[in-house]
Amino acid sequence: MMQVTLTPRGEEILKARLAEEPGQSPEELIERALEGLKQEPQQPKRRTPAEAVAHMREARKGVTLGGLKIKDLIEEGRRY
């Protein structure tokens, strides 16, 4: 058997969760939290190049430079 000492913040979180879920023991709550950690993280879906381009085009809709042109920004950067 392993003993774990909680930090004050950890104890605060545990007490709050126990108050939200009456009838749960601290051991059950911690075990459930640890079960969630052991699940493998989901890999992000790989996109085809065409899907990636479509996503970028969709994401940039409505994004503006406030009427400025990129050429003007480049020139401004050269001044300094």
Residue 72 maps to a domain: yes
Residue 3 maps to a domain: no
Does the predicted model carry a pTM greater than 0.95?
no
Count up the domains in the chain and report the number: 2
Give the span between the Cα atoms of 80 and 78, in whole angstroms.
5
Domain ranges, residue 18: 8-38
The reply to whether 53 and 74 lie within a common domain is: yes
In tens, the pLDDT along 38-74 reads 777 777 788 999 999 999 999 988 888 888 888 988 9
The residues, any chain, with a CB within 8 Å of residue 65's CB and separated by 6 or more, are: 73
Q: How confident is residue 6, by pLDDT bands cut at 50, 70 and 90?
A: very high
Residue 1 maps to a domain: no
Residue 2 maps to a domain: no
What are the contacts of 41-47 at 24+ separation with CB within 8 A?
none
Residue 33 maps to a domain: yes
